[in-house]
Amino acid sequence: METTLREALYMETRVLDIEHVAKKKQLFMKHRIQDNAASDLMKVTINAKTKGGWKQRTEKLENKLNIDTEDYTKSKQAFKTDIGKKINKNFKDTIEEKGKNKSKVQHLKHGQPDWKPGNT
């Protein structure tokens, strides 16, 4: 019985994996919280400096994707567009890195050298 590689499946369907969807949602949440409409309790909870907490994980993600505080001042739509592009690029790089020694992934890359997640 043959199995389809995880990386090949994502390349063929062009959908994000759950890990990258969660990253995108986490950044969108921070953007919403930056707005003055967020409750004080929510801001205190999110900004708590617990080891391995939400704030630390978000900052690590921001560093990895080159997101700075200026990005959070953008409009909701501009922020979503920019973050979507950065998440898609990170996802593509991750899939290609994990699949670089897998023949099925290399075959798909050869057939679609400029594949992009989210484009159908």
Question: Confidence class of residue 41 from pLDDT cuts 50, 70 and 90?
Answer: confident
Give me the amino acid identity at 71: D
CB count within 10 Å of CB 4 equals 9
Query: pTM for the full model?
Result: 0.78
Which is more confidently placed, 40 or 77?
A: 77
> Which pLDDT score, from 0 to 100, does residue 46 have?
75
Query: Which is more confidently placed, 115 or 120?
Result: 115
Residue-by-residue DSSP string for 5-61: -HHHHHHHH----HHHHHHHHHHHHHHHHHSTTS-HHHHHHHT---TT-HHHHHHHH
35: pLDDT strictly greater than 90 = no
- In this structure, the number of other CB atoms found within 10 A of the CB of residue 11 comes to 23
Mean of all residue pLDDT scores within the chain:
82
Task: Sort 78 into a burial class: Cβ within 10 Å, 0-12 / 13-18 / 19+.
Answer: exposed
